[in-house]
């Protein structure tokens, strides 16, 4: 990954890389293999999925609080 690359998603199933003077690229991973593509239609589809997931996600602090709450409740049962 070039030093100037900006990652929008880290540790997810489909990192999206934006590199200056280049097409955006995505890395798709399955149980069998990984694949990098910069085909505009594929990149657009993955970006749309990523934005849908991100829109539903809790903020980091709220997610951590929910995990702590559920863990405490689970331990009390």
Higher pLDDT, 45 or 20: 45
27: Cα separation from own chain's centroid: 10
Q: Which residues does 58 contact at the CB level (< 8 Å), separation at least 6?
A: 66
pTM: 0.55
Query: What pLDDT shows up at residue 12?
Result: 45
Query: What pLDDT shows up at residue 25?
Result: 86
Are 26 and 17 a contacting pair, CB within 8 Å? yes
């Amino acid at each position: 990954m070039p030093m100037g690359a900006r990652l929008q998603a880290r540790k997810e199933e489909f990192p999206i890389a934006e590199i200056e003077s280049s097409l955006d690229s995505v890395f798709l991973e399955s149980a069998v293999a990984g694949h990098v593509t910069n085909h505009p239609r594929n990149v657009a589809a993955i970006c749309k999925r990523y934005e849908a997931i991100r829109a539903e996600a809790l903020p980091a602090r709220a997610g951590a609080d929910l995990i702590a709450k559920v863990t405490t409740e689970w331990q009390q049962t």
